[in-house]
Structure 1
Amino acid sequence: MINIIQIKVRGYHLDIFQHVNNARYLEFLEEGRWAFFDEFGAGTELMEQGLAWAVVNINIDFRAEGNFADVLEVHTQFSKLGNRSVTMKQRIMNAKTDTLVAEADVTYVCFSKEKKAAVPLPDDYKMKIQKALEESD
């Protein structure tokens, strides 16, 4: 499963050099993950169980600049499944030029609000994530 959203670069996304500020890419990536989880269906149900996805690691490689009025596509998919964690691969592409702007690996843990600690993923989510991984191979 892969989810793709589009974001148009606005003036407030730019830095002094007139290209997208590096911190804005974190917001673009997060928007992509929220859209992915909306489609995947892993938000409200987990919260009702007292669980949440907590980001524990983000690695971003910047490849090209994003500029004012560019339309950027954020591609999001699962890439790795652990007992308590899941890693997502994200790519930001310039929709007009098909240029890779940035790519990131984001690791989440399943976090129990009650225990204030990472806990194993519920079995139904592990199976659902595994299926999504197999579909994207």
Structure 2
Amino acid sequence: MTAPAPPAELFVARMDVRWRDLDAFNHVNNATYLTYLEEARLQWLRHVPGPWFDERSMPVLAASTLNYRSPIAWPGQLAIALYCTRLGTTSLTLAHRIVDAQDSTRLYSDGQVVMVWMDPTSGKPVALPQAIRDAAAGA
């Protein structure tokens, strides 16, 4: 029996490790991994053709799972790949991998986040925008 094929990459964000990201142990602070992931998601969303938020529908982070696989040192360049693993009615699950930009076999972190689109006035979930559906399904 063969393993299912991994989902196709939606987007790969590239970013530099900043000096300010380091902690007292001279590696990237664990909380900064979440900042890298947030930036990768925002870069992807900026590339989504069509509207993906308005005054009645915007994304919020509902859940986050982060596996720390290896410490990130400075200086360095990262490649952060995003994958859609679930497309729901009101939510989207994005898997992620943070790797070294020059050596993609060096895995720093993996995991997933769940983003829910909601009405900011009512706080209730709303249907995913069609632009998000198209962008996530087209990968």
Q: TM range, normalised to the smaller chain?
A: 0.7 to 0.9
CA drift of 1:129 comes to 4.6
Paired residues in the alignment total 130
CA drift of 1:48 comes to 2.7
CA distance, structure 2, for counterparts of residue 126 and residue 9 of structure 1: 29
- The Cα RMSD (Å) is 1.8
Gaps of 5+ in 1: none
Please give the per-residue CA displacement for 1:32-75, whole angstroms capped at 9, x wherever unaligned: 00011111236xx3433521011000000011111011111111
Q: TM-score, with normalisation over the residues of structure 2? A: 0.84
Q: Which has the higher helix share?
A: 1
CA distance, structure 2, for counterparts of residue 33 and residue 107 of structure 1: 11
- Aligned ranges 1:1-137 → 2 under 5 Å: 1-41=9-49, 45-98=51-104, 99-122=106-129, 124-125=130-131, 127-129=133-135, 131-132=137-138, 135=139
- Taking every aligned residue pair, what percent have the same amino acid on both sides? 24
Instruction: Tell me which amino acid in the other structure corresponds to 2:68.
Output: F
User: Conserved in 2, the CA contact under 8 Å of 1:85 and 1:109?
Assistant: yes
Q: Indicate how the Cα distance of structure 1 residues 116 and 63 shifts in structure 2: closer, same or farther if over 3 A, else same.
A: same
User: Conserved in 2, the CA contact under 8 Å of 1:81 and 1:129?
Assistant: no
Q: Indicate how the Cα distance of structure 1 residues 38 and 130 shifts in structure 2: closer, same or farther if over 3 A, else same.
A: closer
Gaps of 5+ in 2: 1-8
Instruction: Tell me which amino acid in the other structure corresponds to 1:51.
Output: S
CA drift of 1:82 comes to 1.1
Instruction: Tell me which amino acid in the other structure corresponds to 1:9.
Output: V
- SS of 1:26's partner is helix
CA drift of 1:8 comes to 1.2
Q: Indicate how the Cα distance of structure 1 residues 8 and 19 shifts in structure 2: closer, same or farther if over 3 A, else same.
A: same
CA distance, structure 1, for counterparts of residue 99 and residue 113 of structure 2: 17
